[in-house]
Structures are given as structure tokens and as C-alpha cells.
Chain A
Amino acid sequence: MSNNYRLSTGGQISRSEPILFKFNGKTFRGFKGDTLASALLSNGIHLVGRSFKYHRPRGIFTSGVEEPNALVQIIKDQGKTDPNLRATQIEIYEGLNATSQNCWPSVKFDFGSINNFFSPIIPAGFYYKTFMWPASFWEKVYEYFIRKAAGLGKSPTKKDPDIYDHSYHHCEVLIVGAGPAGLVAAKVAANAGKKVLLVDERPNFGGNLNFSNSDYNKINGLKPLEWIKKTCLELQNNKNIKILNRTSVAAYHNYNYLIMVQNLTDHLSDKNKIGKIRQRLWKVRAKKVILATGSIERPMIFDCNDRPGIMLSSAVRKYINTYGVKCGNNISIFSNNDDAYETAITLHNKGVKIKSIIDIREKSDGTLPKKCIELGIKIHWKSAVIYTEGYKKINKIHVMQLSKDNSSVIGRKLKIDCDLLCVSGGYTPAVHLFTQSGGKLDYDEKKHYFFPTKNTLSQISIGSCNGTFGLKNIISESQEKTREFLNIKEVEQLSVLEPKSGDFENIWLLPSNKISGKTKSFVDYQNDSTANDIKLALREGFKSIEHVKRYTTTGMATDQGKIANMHALGIISEITNTKLGELGTTTFRPPYSPITFGALVGRNVGQFFDITRKTPIHDWHEKNNAKFEDVGQWKRAWYYPSEKENMHDSVQRESKAARTSAGILDASTLGKIDIQGSDASEFLNRIYTNAWGKLAIGKCRYGLMLNDDGMVYDDGVTTRLDENHYIMTTTTGGAATVMGKLEDFLQTEWPELKVYLTSVTDHFATISVCGPNSKKILEKVTQSIDYSDSNFPHMSFKNGLIDKIKCRVMRISFTGELSYEINVQANYGQSVWKKCMAAGKEYGITPYGTEAMHLLRAEKGFIIVGQETDGTVTPVDLQMDWIVSKKKYDFIGKRSLYRSDTMREDRKQYVGLLTNDPKEILEEGAQIVAEVKNKPPMNMIGHVTSSYYSPNLNKSIALAVVKNGKNLKGKKLYVPMPNKTIEVIVSDTIFLDKEGKRLNA
């Protein structure tokens, strides 16, 4: 038997461009323009995959996006392999290497098919009823084997080398689908001057008209292909329209926001893929949307309707007309409508033998059935296929007559040999996008489909997705509805020739001569859910369609029910005797067809995952071997190890230098807010817990900010630059939210206050120089500032100059040392830093990072918001009662401090901890108990918030919050670690220089 199923002429493939590709290790030939499916079929291959549950052999069933069976893995290398692609959508290219999935050792001989043998005892939901004994076996034994069987294709194991892109698009009219309806609408819209975007998921336009029989369908006297070509050419030459093929609309969101994915290179040869973007995600905002998404042909549900060689009738017509491929030599057709007769005539005219047509209808008065009779094709009216034979390929069908009411089959069983069975169960409008957008459906009891009705967006559906069938109707509806929708006066009229069509009749589940328990009538092919599974679910009380779907997994395969859902609903409606309109549908969830994570993420991978904020001095830190830590989006210098140092050594050295001579810190990341206006002082009064009215010009003050729930939110030093001018600093992480909060209060609660806020975080570089020699260094760096204590005391500020550059110098300290903070315009930051380094050289000035800064402030017991606090700590808990004004009538958070829980005396309070062994450093986050027990649970009374080894005190120190801590000073507590328990003594939070002498050293 010849394996060549390619006709010698015809089709839209490029016969001068043969392409070699691999399937399951063997090399085959196809032509440019082929899909993997058409190329395989041309080589006589139907068997492509195995089903998920029973591993039944499955063949190519469709010709497009709805394919449930023919899934393959494309292999290139470890980083570039694609699981679960549909052979019906893959355009072949030189170098294509595809394999079958979910089978071992091969698709022809698959051990997994043993499941088919067990199928009688593993119906829908069987796993809920077993694998429970013994309890310990679930994960180790049962689930272990279930997971072995899980999945279809395989994930790549290396990083994806391809790049993906995002694009934004705005248009007046988006038209989804370039079948006859979409093309007509596009022409009408573009000719009227509208800015149009027309997209279609397929490489070629024209939809199903593309492979219609040209003897029976004509537009303006043109054959379908001629009309499509002419129309496309006109559109391409119209400047108002942008056209995208291979572009699938994935999601239709509220406010006409649509997400689509364009495939740019998957169809190209490996060589031509190089350097190109693989896929582009389009985000489209359209003023108006026209859905012309077409319809999907339905299968027929009967016993063993899943064998390779059973295909949708429209797919068979497409393969022969578009690709010149006949899918069999001896063909039967099973139908309930006239459309399948077009397939029959097409095949017949191309010399392929039509053995028989089985039609559930009594008759049809359509043009095409009449023609078939003329051609001498045998038609079995009022009959049904009840069974098929052939394990890896169909070879026989069993046919019986239907009873008058279609509820049973009668008469003699007829066995007909065939190598292909075309099935046609009518068409289901593709309403996916319409319902995603919030549109409502109605059910047409006569025509047996759901169709769009109400929607709230500026949108219409036209053509078969709107339930309009027949070329004439589709074209006139598209013209008229588009004209009306876009408010266009006149459109060119088109004359259409189409065959007269007979009525369509529908039986959701065909009767069988067997008892139903013995049949396997597949509804969801990929997931192997059968009509009996649906019946079982209903019998067990799973009545809602969502329950049936979840219990049987119908509609949950990779085609998301494009083939299965209508019949599942139909069967449920018949069995429960509920009208389909009342039953409704399951939710159509995005995406319409699967989209790669890569396309969804676009360029936002690797270094573009998130913004990296760097200070103006960053380069210097990098050159000087700084290690960085991530603080929000900022990179902050963490410590500066010399070649031989580890982190501990480096931090110890830096901390020591800051206290013995001079240290320098890049504090540019601190949030800075410029506050101006005649009510600025009053504003600060309301924002901070302490009083601000009396702060003199030129002075600085530390402030604590609460949320209205009374919990510490942020802190920092604010300086009064002038009568009505303050500069506030915030924590690095809190800068943006503090700014937002201040603006919020100002605009919405206190609009009467005259205050203006400007975030200046990025406008200033902040350099902190501390240590006993800091004053001498500052004197060298700045001009015109008198650094005497009397002129420039602690917590004050001076304007100054560094050469000609203006600077602000604050004498404030987060280390407890004599300390100055220089603020200069950001772009001078690095040169001022270098100036400080040069000036401090004689004193051994040492750059220190955030780790040493944390250590130094811990020696002084200064809190870090977010470390000592966690959103559950009040200023009173921090023993900072001194900063909470009792006199102020109100400030944000005040009222909350007087609730029953926040007033408790034994709340967790801020304390210091010292270990017995000065070398023992507690772990940050370690929990504290008063009483150690042999085993948990133990009553935890607090935790370690900060912990360091202090080189200045030569011992470890720690900060903590402990229940009733302020009354426990000197008491012994315990820190139980996994391998030991550490004794600690509660101490003051200030470990060094309690009197604050060093500030004026």
C-alpha cells in the first residue's frame, strides 16, 4: 500500500519547496505551507498521540486550534523544546523535529495502554473512592505512581534562549477573525476611514471559506479563493488598516482591553529564526470591537468514536483543498447536516472514493445531498454509526437504523469497511471571547447552539460566532451590522451564491445496540471522559455543570473543551431533563488558546525583572569592592571587604574605625521630602507624634510617624530650613509610601492647610561622615561654615559651599558619634564623596556599609523601623514615651494608643539583651522564653530583633522586644536554639556612651 496520500495537484502548498522534517525519529517529506498534521497525513500517518488516562491510540482529529489528540513535543535542545503543541497548528520548516507524547516506549506500542484494560474499574472520580488504605501509602505509593503518569509533554531543562516582546496598540476598530465576516467588516470599516486592526490566528485569511467548494460558493461571481485574494489585496493597500496573521486573541477584558499573541518565528527554519523575536504580546485598547471568530465543528458521540482515522468532516475538506492531501482512500461520512456533503462532493471530485454517507436525518432537500445522490454515493438515511473497529486505525464501522424517536437503533447491523470516517455534528459558535468580555448567551432550541445576546461593551459579533450560518447570511449580516455599528452611511453590495441547505438535526448522545455501560463514547478525547462518566457524575448527585466538569474533567484538557463542552452540556440536559438555556455553560476562561509564559512576561526577565536604583556614588562603591544588599529596589553598599577579609572582619573593622577616627557612609537612599508652606509646622505637628511648633530655624528634630492604628510606621530627622520650609527624611524603604500618605492627608483630610510637598530623594546625594575626626574633615571639605559647637551644635544645620557647589550640612548622628551629613545636588555626589575621602585620608577615613551602620546604631540602641518594629509596635512599646506629645490635641495614631490592648502594661517592650558568654552572638529572629521546657510548646515572650558582636565593647549585644520587658531589667531569660539554650540578661537598650558624650567629642 502506498503511503503517498498527496494528490498530484491542488492545494495552496508550494510544491517547489519540499521540506524534510522528523517525526518520532523518522524523516518525512512535506512542502512549504504544510502543517505537521497535513504533512503526516500526506505520508499516511494518523496515529500521533495517546490519550491522558487510558493511553488509547489517537489520531489527528481536526485541522486547527481545537485539536484535542494530535499533541507533539518539538525538540531542539534542552532550553528549546516545546511540549503539547498541536500538530494541526505547527507549520513545518526545515529542521523540525517532533515526537509523540505520553507514551512509552513508543506511540505504536505504549505500556500505559494497560490503563485501558483497567478502564472498567477506573471511571470518573475513581481516585476519590480509593487509595485511602493504609493512610501512609497515599504519598509514598499511590501518589508516587499517579505522578509518574502525570503530564503530557516535558518541560525544557535549560533557560529559554528566545526573546519575547510586548507592544501596545490603540485603534478605533479591532476585528477578530479574518474569515468572510471579518474580511467584509474590515473592508467596510477601512473604506469609511476608520483606523482598523484586523487579526487572525491562522497564517492564511479567509477562514473556512478558504477551503469551500468553489462550484457552489461564489461572491460577486468570484470563486472563494479569488474573492479572498482580491479582498486581502484591497485591504493591504488601504492605509487605514493594520493586519496581523498568526495572532491569537487570548483574552478579552473589561473596557475593550484585549490581549493577543503574535507568533513571529515558529514557522521559520532554524536558520531564519536567528536574531528574531519569537512572539509578541499585543495589548490592545479598542474603541470598538467586532468579533468574527467563526465556529467550531462538532463531533458525534457514539461507541468508540475516538479511533485514529476518525476526523471532523471540515478538517478532511481542508486537508484536501488547502494541502492537496486525502486523508483516506475508502471513506465514510457520518453527519447530521448538509455541510458534510460538501466534503463528500469535494473528495469525490478529486477522485477519492466515498463508500457511504450515514445521516441521522430522514432526508434533506439541500442542493448538496441531492448532488451526492446524483453522483451515486450511497446514503444511509435515518441511521447512525454505533461502533467502530480498528485499534490503531479505523477499519470498519457498524451502522444501524435509528428508531422513529431517535432513542434506539433498530434493524440489521451493517458493517462497512473504511479507512476514514468523517464526522460532522454541526457547528458551535465560538463565543469564547464574547463571554470573557462579560457578554451573556442564549440558547436556540431549534438550532441547538448558544449565541451572543446582551453585552455591555462597545462590541458586536458577526458571522457564525453570532450563530449566523450560510455564506449569504454571513456576508449580508457582516455588512449591515458593521455599517450600523460604525455609523457608516452606505456600503457596496455583494452578490452571493450558495447551495441551498437542508435542516440540521441533533442527537447529543447517539443510541447504541449495547447496554450503555459497555460503550465507550468519548466526549472529551484528551482526558478520556465518556458519556458514561457524565452519567455517573449525575447519578452521584453532581448536578451542576461545574460539578460534572470537575468530577469528570470534561473540558479541562488543553483544548479547554472546544470539542467536548457542547456535547457534555447536551448530554446533561437530556439526562436531567433541563433545558440547555437554563443549564447555561461553564465559564469560558482566558486564554482562548494557550500562550507561553515567555510572551506574557516579554522583556521583563533577567536584569529587567525589576528596576535597580543606584545612588550617585554607586560606581565608587563598586570600584572599591563593596558588597551590596537589596533594600527595596535600591542597591546599598553593605560592607567593603579587603582582599583577605570575610564579612565579619570587614564589618568589625569598619565599625571600629567609625568610633576611633572617622567613617563615611552613603546615605543617599534615605527618603527626602521637601515641605513648604505657611502651615508646614502645623502639618508636621499632625503627622509626627512630637511637637514641632517651637523648632527653631536651622534646627533638626527626630520624628516618629504612626499609622492611625497607633503602630510605628516610619521615622527620620526633619530640619527646619526656614520659617515655612522643612526637609524631612524618611527610611529608605518607606520613602514612597510616606510621601503618598502625607499627600493623602493633605489633600483629603486637611485641604485647608497651606503645605506643598515635593519628593527630592533622587535630587540629593547624602554623605554621612562620623567619628571623632569628622569635624576636621568637614572643615577641610566645606567653605564658609563655622563648626564650633556654639555656632553649629548637635541637631542643627548650616548652608555651605564646597568649592562653588551649594550644600546643606546637618549635624545629626545615627551612630552616637560626632557626625555630619552633607547633602549636595545628586550629580555632585560622587565628587564630594571623593573630596571627603581625600580630606579624611590623614585620619584613615573608612567607608562603612549598611551592616556596620546597623551595628553602630545598635550599640546606641537606636531603632530601625522594620527591624525593631513590625507593624505591631507602638512608641510606648519602644519605651519612647518621651517622643509622644501628651499636650498635642491630636496626631495620626494618637487615639489608638488609648485602646484597652495598646494600654496594657505587659505588652512586648523594647529591651537590650546580653549573653553570659560575651562571644555568643544571638541569632536575629530567635525566640525568647522565661522558662525552658523539655519539649515544645514553650511560652514565647519575645524575640531578638537585632544582634551583633560589638568591636567597640568587645562583646555581643542584642536588641529585643520582650513581654513586660521594661520591668525585667537584670532578669535572666532564655533563648532556646535547636541544639542548645542560651542564657541572656535583660539590659538597657543603650550599650555605649549612655551620657551621649561622644556626640560632642
Chain B
Amino acid sequence: MKKKYSIFALIKNSLSYHENWQRAWRDAEPKKEYDAVIVGGGGHGLATAYYLAKEHNLKNIAVVEKGWIGGGNTGRNTTIIRSNYLWDASAGLYDHALKIWENLSQELNYNVMFSQRGVMNLAHNQHDVRELKRRTHANRLNGIDCEWLNVEQVKKFCPIINCSPDIRYPVMGSTLQKRAGTARHDAVAWGYARGADSMGVDIIQNCEVKGIKRKGDAIEGIETTKGFIKTQKVGVVAAGHSSVIANMAGLKLPLESKPLQALVSEPIKPVIDTVVMSNAVHAYVSQSDKGELVIGAGTDAYISYTQKGTHEIIEGTLKAILELYPIFSRLRMLRQWGGVVDICPDASPIISKTSIKGLYFNCGWGTGGFKATPGSGHLFAYTIAKDEPHSLNAAFNINRFVSGDLVDEHGAAAVAH
């Protein structure tokens, strides 16, 4: 077991100049065989391993990660957490995650800084108003907190939004989910890694999957840069690289991997204490506990694995930011970066078995996977352990693309893609 983190532990360790802290996780080398191997050491993958060990009594688990844990989209997103999705299936999925978030720091004994400062979704035209109200009503009847704010209430809740009727696309109202908010992205990966490690999960970094070995229609193991690993269950949580792994197994997925960018400003004293998103005037912004404005941009239209998007996307995003917050014009962009997001045609994820026995995929989170991290891991662990989906992820099977029973969340997915 790990030694517990607390203020007392900090004080006690300060006496020995912090030289006696334990490792948060071991740097494991692969064993010959595992009961289950998770491919991808991001938040979702580590959470999957954590819940496999914790709730499904699987003890011999590995997470293999091509680079360093949390180095993909987990460490590159704008950390927004919310569950105000339209359809029952998505609302169930994302609210399941939100409920776990609410107690995650205590559960992991790792402060993931989940801050329920509220998320607003602004409406800028009649169509927005209708669609956002539709979501508000759906959320309410699904037991998810969500309110509708008129323009005066928007102004009051977040005074720096430009609510003037004279702007190009005036704000006409907003939804507000108060339980929503942000968290510290790196901490989620590290917290789950520490938790999983303490239950014996091997976290193997710098270990890239090179092939999937099958015997007939069943998984036999994976070839990696650190050798062959035998296992009968492989859970792939490789985000932008999901198709690359799928192709190794001879599968095709309904995914396109595209660059998504984000940026931060230099740190300033707090001016915005909530998260504001706008689809029509495409921009979303929050402010970190360090004081940086965290701004999400959109995806480029074309497939790219470069982790680089075009400058024009950044420019378009900031244009929208200044439309809504003209006071930010003199602030400065400190850093911009990109990630690779795997996008499904219906803007909903896949958490599913495949036609190959023992091969499972958790992918297609597009631009908004971070918020689902704990729920995604929890449900994926269930699916892998039981070889059948949990009722909460049953709708997110791959077969929906054959039957046509899609979960179209383009409206709620925040980024037009």
C-alpha cells in the first residue's frame, strides 16, 4: 500500500527535506503474460486498469504506453468537465463520470482539483436557443442539473461576457450546469497511475505496440518494442492512434484523427470564475488556478497525426474570444499546442467489444474525452472483465454504425466537427 498523502505527511516529510517520499508508481518492465493489457497510458487507460484491479479482482494487469503516461490528450486538453448532453445514453454516460469526479480526490488520495465552478453554453441565435432549451429540459428530466439563464442572468453570473445587443451575434441566453467545472488534467493520470500501481498494476512506459497477435478470432497477445506480451484480453484506449492499433488487428473503425488546438494566456489575476463555451461564436474559455486563461480552439478539417494544427484555427478562436471578451485584447498568448483527436461520425464515443474475442476498444471521444475519464475507465473495465457492456455503455457499441442507431451529439459536443 502507498503511504497516505495529507498535510501531516507534508509536514512530516519536510523534516527530512522531502527525501523519503515514495514513488508514485513503479517503472515496470513487462512480464511474459498478463490477464489483461491496456494499450494507452492516458487518463482513460489508467482509470481502466485501476477499476479492473479494484472492482473486478483482476490482479495481473499491465498498461503499456508508447511515450509517457498522460502525455497525449490527457495532458493537452482544456480540462472541462460537464454532463449536459442531449440523449439519454450520453447523459447517463457523462453523468456517471461526473458523479465519480465529485469524490475522485478522496477516492485516489490525490488532489485532482475538481472545481465545480459551473459551465455555461451560450446561445447566439434562435436555433441555439431552441436547441439549448431542448437540452436543458432533457437534462432536467434525466436528473442532471441544468438551468437556463436569460441575458440579464448571464451578465450577472459572468460579468465580463459582452452581452451588448450590438455585437455581431448577440448573446441570447445560456445554459448553466453548476455541478460542472474543471480539474487538473495531469493529476488525473498521475492519481490513477498511483492508485493502480498500489494494487499491483504494471505501468510500462516507452513501450509501443507493434502488432496484435491473433489465433483465429481470439487475441493471443501483443508485440511491443519491449517484446511479446501474452494476454487474452487487450483493451485499446489509444485516442488519436486507435485506428493505427485497429489496423494492426485487421479492423477498421469509423474514426478520423484530426488536429485539435488549445492555448493559454500569460497568467493574470482571476477575472473569470466559471467556464464559458459558445458553439456559434466558436470559443470556450476558463481560467486556471495559476491564472492563465485556458482557451480551446477547433479542429482542422483534415486528418493529421502531427499534433500541429494551422495558425488560422488559433486566429479564428481568438477572434471569437475578443468578440465575447473585448477586454482581453491586450492579453498575450503564452503557449499554443495541439493534440490528435479521434472523431466518430456521430460525435459520440465507442466503448465496445469487437469481432475479435478479447479485443476491446474505447475510442472516438473526439474533442471532449477528458470529462468522461473516470466513467469511461469504470465502464470499460466492466466491459473487459465481463466481456459484455455495462448498461451505461451498451449504446456506445461499434455495431451502431451498422444498425444506424447512432447517438448524435453534434449539438452537445461543443466543437463543431
Contacts and interface: CB of A to CB of B under 8 A. Distances in A.
A and B touch in the complex (CB under 8 A): yes
Contacts of B152: none
B408 A872 contact: yes
Interface stretch (A210-218, A293-301, A386-394, A588-596): A588-596
Nearest to B290: A150
B1 interface: no
Contact of A899 (B105, B140, B330, B402): B402
Contact of B23 (A127, A151, A539, A870): A539
Given A84-B266, A139-B116, A899-B404, A542 B322 contact: no
A834 B79 CA distance: 55
A610 B336 contact: no
Interface string B120-160: 00001111001111111110111100000000000000000
A789 interface: no
Contacts of A709: 345, 404, 406
Contacts, number: 312
A517 interface: yes
B113 A143 contact: yes
A132 B126 contact: no
Interface string A336-347: 000000000000
A277 B400 CA distance: 55
A610 B411 contact: no
Interface in A138-154: 138-139, 143, 146-148, 150-154
B35 interface: no
Contact of A143 (B115, B132, B345): B115
Contact of A597 (B137, B267, B329, B410): B329
Nearest to B127: A866
Contacts of A899: 402-404
Interface stretch (B7-15, B245-253, B355-363, B381-389): B7-15
A254 B308 contact: yes
Interface string A906-921: 0000000000000000
A83 interface: yes
Contact of A902 (B106, B288, B404): B404
Interface stretch (A191-199, A357-365, A598-606, A777-785): A598-606
B380 interface: no
A872 B67 CA distance: 39
B111 A595 contact: no
Contacts of B11: 121
B364 interface: no
Contact of B138 (A128, A151, A607, A940): A940
Interface string B204-220: 01000000000000000
B149 to A, nearest CB: 13
Contacts of A610: 168-169
B318 A84 contact: no
Contacts of B23: 539-541
Interface string A147-165: 1101111111111101010
A172 interface: no
Contacts of A550: 75, 186
A150 B115 CA distance: 15
A630 B17 contact: no
Contact of B266 (A143, A594, A929, A936): A594
Interface string B389-413: 0000000000010111110101100
A150 B320 CA distance: 25
Interface in B5-41: 5-7, 9-11, 14, 16-19, 21-27
Contacts of A83: 266, 268, 331
A596 B205 contact: no
A597 B318 contact: yes
Nearest to A558: B266
Contacts of B69: 547
A490 interface: no
A900 B137 contact: no
Contacts of A604: 315, 319
A539 B19 CA distance: 8
Contact of A629 (B67, B125, B205, B335): B125
Given A132-B111, A162-B329, A253 B311 contact: yes
B335 A630 contact: no
Interface string B320-348: 11110011111111111100000001000
A766 interface: no
A978 interface: yes
A83 B273 CA distance: 19
Interface in A973-1001: 976-978
B329 A159 contact: yes
A923 interface: yes
B17 A518 contact: yes
A596 B110 contact: no
B5 A130 contact: yes
A617 B294 CA distance: 43
A131 B168 CA distance: 44
Interface residues of A, number: 112
A530 to B, nearest CB: 11
Contacts of B131: 870, 925
Main secondary structure of the interface of A (DSSP, over half): loop
A936 B408 CA distance: 23
Interface in A320-363: none
Contacts of B308: 253-254
B200 interface: no
B228 interface: no
A516 interface: yes
Contacts of B406: 709, 872
Contacts of B322: 597-598, 601, 605
Interface in A237-277: 251, 253-254, 257, 259
A129 B9 contact: yes
Contacts of A801: none
Nearest to B287: A150
A598 B330 CA distance: 6
Given A147-B289, A150-B267, A600-B333, A132 B127 contact: no
Interface in B58-92: 67-71, 75, 88
B191 to A, nearest CB: 7
A925 B115 contact: no
Given A594-B332, A605-B319, A927-B134, A547 B6 contact: no
A560 interface: yes
A138 B168 contact: no
Contact of A128 (B25, B187, B271): B187
B314 interface: yes
Nearest to A129: B5
Contacts of A81: 330
A541 B26 contact: yes
A978 B140 contact: yes
A600 B318 CA distance: 7
A541 B24 contact: yes
Contact of A84 (B268, B320, B321, B404): B268
Contact of B168 (A148, A607, A935): A607
Contacts of B138: 927, 940, 943
Interface of B: 5-7, 9-11, 14, 16-19, 21-27, 67-71, 75, 88, 103, 105-106, 109-111, 113-117, 124-127, 130-138, 140-143, 167-169, 184, 186-187, 190-191, 205, 265-271, 273, 281, 287-291, 306, 308, 310-311, 314-315, 318-323, 326-337, 345, 400, 402-406, 408, 410-411
CB-CB nearest 7 A-B residue pairs = A517-B17, A151-B291, A925-B134, A160-B329, A925-B133, A594-B332, A544-B68
Given A150-B287, A609-B319, 11 more contacts: A121-B14, A128-B110, A135-B106, A159-B329, A551-B190, A594-B334, A596-B331, A596-B332, A597-B330, A925-B137, A926-B134
25 contacts: A82-B330, A121-B11, A129-B5, A129-B110, A131-B111, A158-B327, A159-B329, A160-B329, A517-B16, A539-B18, A542-B24, A544-B68, A560-B335, A591-B334, A594-B332, A596-B329, A597-B328, A598-B322, A609-B323, A872-B406, A924-B130, A925-B137, A936-B142, A937-B142, A943-B134
